[in-house]
Chain A
Amino acid sequence: MPADPNMKILVVDDMSTMRRIVKNIMKQLGFANVEEAENGQEALEKLKVDTFGFVISDWNMPVMTGIQLLRAIRADDKLKAIPVLMVTAEAQKENLIEAIQAGVSNYIVKPFTAEVLQEKMSKIFK
């Protein structure tokens, strides 16, 4: 199913610069409805009270990491269908395997380009 340009997207990263970069790319790609969260816990709270169509999350974050957030999403009946894209500096094979086993929709290694993000999104929403 192609991505709905009006869908609400949640960008989760403890670094404000990264949130702004992803938000900017999303805007340039035609997705203006973007919200932010600083860690997994804050993201989970937002996901539970609102309807999001897509989550883009970092891995290394305080309070609740990206992988913990992913597991929490997949364990929740109401949230488990939301596609989750991980954008992370964790480039080890073990990390990728762990994310796949936890149910990640796709995986981007930092630093990345807008083209890579677009390509991964189109694979998720095909």
Chain B
Amino acid sequence: MLNGNVKLYSELGELARYLESAMRKIAEVGAPMVANSAQLPQATAHLLDLNKMTEDGTMEVMRLTEILQDNHARVAKELASVASILEAVDCRTLAERLGKTAQELGQDDKHLMDIMTALSFQDLVAQRVKKLVTIVEDVQRKLVELVVVFGLKQEGAAPEVQGKAGEMLRQLEASKSTAIKQELADELLSEFGFKQSGSSG
């Protein structure tokens, strides 16, 4: 019985040491885990920015395509009208030439419609980005749960995350605030002696 108790205490001691060691290791990884999880909201914001950028670009291509389609429709109508006049005055050769031009215009209309439908890529990209954002948010929620469960507190400000991911995120953030507009670029170029179009010098 005594031997049994000694063995039990020994086993329990071993288990306690193992648990303490495990908790220490978890605490060690806690700080980088907290810091990394702090990056996730920024990363998701950039992903959503990506959606907005592709949407804006797609809308602009659509606007221009629609202008071309409307112009084509007007030209086709005009060509048909002129061709019928030429037919009436027996200028068949010219009427045929106009007919061929109208056919080519019709082919271009098809290409324009293909451009429009090809732009549906934006919808597919946006849907995938939304799914990625959901995944990232889920990962973040789980990391927060771990932080709470293991009491992994971050003392003071979160340390800057090192490595490729941290650097890329910093670049993305910087591109928001430091991206310069053309006017500002021209201004700076002028200051360094570059002649700008429209400038008097």
A and B from one assembly?
Answer: yes
Query: Which residues of the other chain, B, contact A28 by a CB distance below 8 angstroms?
Result: 69, 109, 113
> In the bound complex, what is the Cα–Cα distance between A40 and B120 (angstroms)?
20
> In the bound complex, what is the Cα–Cα distance between A95 and B114 (angstroms)?
27
Interface assignment of B62: CB less than 8 Å from any CB of chain A? yes
> In the bound complex, what is the Cα–Cα distance between A114 and B114 (angstroms)?
7
> In the bound complex, what is the Cα–Cα distance between A111 and B120 (angstroms)?
6
Query: Which residues of the other chain, B, contact A113 by a CB distance below 8 angstroms?
Result: 114, 117
Interface assignment of A81: CB less than 8 Å from any CB of chain B? no
Whether A89 pairs with B123 at a CB distance below 8 angstroms is yes
Residue of chain A at shortest CB distance from B130:
A60
Interface assignment of B126: CB less than 8 Å from any CB of chain A? yes
- Given the known inter-chain contacts A60-B127, A89-B127, please indicate yes or no for A15 contacting B113, CB distance below 8 A: no
Interface assignment of A125: CB less than 8 Å from any CB of chain B? no
Count residues on chain B whose CB falls below 8 Å from chain A CBs: 21
- Given the known inter-chain contacts A20-B62, A60-B127, A110-B124, please indicate yes or no for A25 contacting B116, CB distance below 8 A: yes
Interface assignment of A21: CB less than 8 Å from any CB of chain B? yes
Whether A17 pairs with B127 at a CB distance below 8 angstroms is no
Partner of B118, one of A16, A24, A25, A111: A111
Whether B123 pairs with A15 at a CB distance below 8 angstroms is yes
* Interface 0/1 of A25-64, CB less than 8 Å to B: 1001000000000000000000000000000000010000
Partner of A21, one of B69, B119, B126, B127: B119
Query: Which residues of the other chain, A, contact B109 by a CB distance below 8 angstroms?
Result: 28
Whether A25 pairs with B123 at a CB distance below 8 angstroms is no
Residue of chain A at shortest CB distance from B118:
A111
A-B contact count (CB 8 A): 56
Interface assignment of A18: CB less than 8 Å from any CB of chain B? yes
Query: Which residues of the other chain, A, contact B124 by a CB distance below 8 angstroms?
Result: 89, 110-111
Interface size range of chain A in the complex: 10 to 19
> In the bound complex, what is the Cα–Cα distance between A35 and B26 (angstroms)?
57
> In the bound complex, what is the Cα–Cα distance between A111 and B55 (angstroms)?
16
- Given the known inter-chain contacts A17-B58, A60-B127, please indicate yes or no for A110 contacting B113, CB distance below 8 A: no
- Which of A15, A25, A60, A112 gathers the greatest number of chain B CB atoms within 10 Å? A15
Whether B123 pairs with A24 at a CB distance below 8 angstroms is no
Report A14 CB to chain B, min CB distance, Å: 9
> In the bound complex, what is the Cα–Cα distance between A18 and B119 (angstroms)?
8
Whether A18 pairs with B114 at a CB distance below 8 angstroms is no
Interface assignment of B20: CB less than 8 Å from any CB of chain A? no
New A-B pairs, 14, CB < 8 Å, besides A20-B62, A110-B120, A112-B120: A15-B123, A16-B55, A18-B120, A21-B62, A24-B66, A24-B113, A25-B116, A25-B117, A28-B113, A111-B117, A111-B118, A111-B124, A113-B114, A114-B117
Q: Could you list 21 examples of A-B contacts with CB < 8 Å?
A: A13-B123, A15-B55, A15-B126, A16-B55, A16-B59, A17-B119, A17-B122, A17-B123, A21-B62, A21-B116, A21-B117, A21-B120, A24-B65, A25-B113, A25-B116, A28-B109, A89-B124, A89-B127, A111-B118, A111-B124, A113-B117
